[in-house]
Amino acid sequence: MPEHGQPPSRSPDRQSPAPFETESETESETESETESETESETESETEAEPGAETDPGGRMGSGRVVPLGKVEVMAFSGISTPAALLDERRLIRNLERMSARATAAGVDLRPHLKTAKSADVARLATRDHFGGVTVSTLAEAEYFFEAGFRDITYAVCLAPAKVGRARALTERGATLRVIVDSLAVAESLADESSGAPLPVLVEIDSGEHRTGVAPNAPELVPIARQLHEGPGTRLDGVLTHGGHSYFCDSPEAIAAVADEERAAVVAAAETLRAAGLPCPTVSAGSTPTAVHAQTFEGLTELRPGVYMFFDLAQLGRRCCEPADIALTVLATVISHRPENGRLIVDAGGLALSKDRGADGFVADAGYGWLVDCDTQERIGDLRIVSADQEHGYVEGTNIPWDRLPIGSQVRVVPNHACMTAAAHDRYQVVRDDRVVATWSRLNGW
Ligand SMILES: Cc1ncc(COP(=O)(O)O)c(C=O)c1O
């Protein structure tokens, strides 16, 4: 684990966020809050929102019992497995908590839609905020523009071959912010004189060492100056992603990374301003740092994404509790192999992904935990230990064979929600034990 220094002391100013309360801390309180405030509202929104399909192909499941010979299996009847289920109540609670946290700290929330990639989720995530979103592909930018979002940050360094596509969206009326971390790309963007200037942020490396320039890098001001002075661009500010928060698993260590993330991007903004350059946007964010930061002072916006769904990787970083995880994969038991000490479900690598981001932080995460279809309580210590394309191998200390007959359904809590969700083209939105809507999602580039 990297050394992150001492956690910062809590600042008394208005930028000090309220704690991000997870399910174990707020169970009764939030449950009733969600019930009273969002139930009826969400009901109509979910079912009337444009783009929200309501019973495509008769897949809507509300029945509970699938007869299988003499066995009656509780199930989401009519849902073909594997399928991505989205727990509406948990989703909304997660969104409301992050939204309240940003609002209390006086910082804008520009949620990252790389996890959900769904216009229906985006509408809920931006409710009560200015409507800006973050995306990780140009396909998402185009999709969210079509869905009515106008202020979009594409937070992956722009490849030269994609400039035309980015500018085309700007010509259609989008404020599409792009990011760069090299003088060569900044120069070529800035030199283009046709069309409206493209808003550009300089990406800052705050410690993850993926992309971005160091806040004290000598090229920072020259890049920014090019963007400011060239006819093809408008310097919009600086952006960073504290992705090294994923190397930690204690709130204190993550709070220290959050402070490194914040300090780096704020220092870069100050450098630009001292050089006489504008820097309206100072953008930072990952889910762990947004959850555990003690102050957002100096930032103008936060860009967390996976907090909407959470997953075992977030559980391992102490960002959520099991009862906060909104995404599960519905799967069917297809084989009992007691001689091998395992049963097999029809959700394998293509339905769950083979991401093991929770490894090392959740001892038995595997490719996902098995939970009860109805209660979402974990079934013993059952987990997917291995995955072929369409087979998930389930092991555990005591497999309850009678409780899980062939044909019965289970839910799998994903290791990494972004990767798991990307295996599906829709979410079955579940309220209590019923599927109440189907929301489509985007994949591809
Ligand atoms: C540039 C950028 N911003 C924000 C995020 C959102 O962070 P998280 O996935 O931790 O919610 C990511 C995630 O990869 C990212 O790459």
State residue 76's pLDDT score. 85
pLDDT at 52 over 90: no
Contacts of 29 (CB under 8 A, 6+ apart): none
- What is the reported pTM? 0.88
pLDDT at 68 over 70: no
Ligand 1 centroid–CA 303 distance in Å is: 7
Candidate from 158, 286, 307, 416 with most ligand 1 atoms within 8 A of CB, to mutate: 286
Asked if residue 280 lies in contact with residue 336, where contact means CB atoms within 8 angstroms, the answer is no
> Averaged over 301-309, what is the pLDDT?
98
69 pLDDT band, cuts 50/70/90, is: low
pLDDT at 11 over 90: no
> Averaged over 292-307, what is the pLDDT?
98
CATH 2.40.37.20 positions along the chain are 34-87+320-440
Ligand 1 centroid–CA 135 distance in Å is: 9
* Number of Cβ atoms within 10 Å of the Cβ of 416: 24
47 pLDDT band, cuts 50/70/90, is: very low
Does the beta carbon of 357 sit less than 6 angstroms from any atom of ligand 1?
A: no
- Rounded Cα distance between 202 and 301, Å, is 15
> Averaged over 343-361, what is the pLDDT?
96
Does the beta carbon of 285 sit less than 6 angstroms from any atom of ligand 1?
A: yes
Q: What residues form DSSP beta bridges with 216?
A: none
Lowest mean per-residue pLDDT among 35-39, 205-209, 244-248, 343-347: 35-39
Ligand 1 centroid–CA 113 distance in Å is: 9
- Rounded Cα distance between 410 and 76, Å, is 10
Instruction: State which H helix or E strand residue 189 sits in.
Output: helix 183-191
Structural fold of domain 34-87+320-440: Lyase, Ornithine Decarboxylase; Chain A, domain 1 (2.40.37)
193 pLDDT band, cuts 50/70/90, is: confident
Ligand 1 centroid–CA 137 distance in Å is: 12
* Amino acid letter, 190: A
Does the beta carbon of 291 sit less than 6 angstroms from any atom of ligand 1?
A: no
Asked if residue 405 lies in contact with residue 68, where contact means CB atoms within 8 angstroms, the answer is yes
State residue 385's pLDDT score. 98
State residue 78's pLDDT score. 84
Higher pLDDT, 71 or 156: 156
pLDDT at 54 over 60: no
Average pLDDT over the chain, rounded to whole? Answer: 88
pLDDT at 64 over 50: no
Lowest mean per-residue pLDDT among 149-158, 360-369, 393-402, 430-439: 430-439
State residue 18's pLDDT score. 66
431: closest CA among 41, 111, 97, 128? 41
Ligand 1 centroid–CA 138 distance in Å is: 16
State residue 194's pLDDT score. 82
Does the beta carbon of 177 sit less than 6 angstroms from any atom of ligand 1?
A: no
State residue 103's pLDDT score. 97
> Averaged over 276-280, what is the pLDDT?
98
Higher pLDDT, 70 or 426: 426
pLDDT at 215 over 60: yes
Does the beta carbon of 286 sit less than 6 angstroms from any atom of ligand 1?
A: yes
CA pseudo-torsion sign 347, 348, 352, 358: positive
Pairing status of strand 151-157 against strand 175-180: parallel
Longest dimension (CA), the chain: 78
Q: Where are the alpha helices (DSSP H) in 129-282?
A: 138-146, 163-171, 183-191, 220-229, 251-274
Q: What share of the chain is helix, strand, coil (3-state, %, to 5)?
A: 35, 25, 40
Angle at 285 between CA 226 and CA 159, to 5 degrees: 40
pLDDT-above-70 percentage for the chain? 84
CATH 3.20.20.10 positions along the chain are 107-308
* Amino acid letter, 79: I
**CATH 3.20.20.10 for domain 107-308:** yes
* Number of Cβ atoms within 10 Å of the Cβ of 209: 10
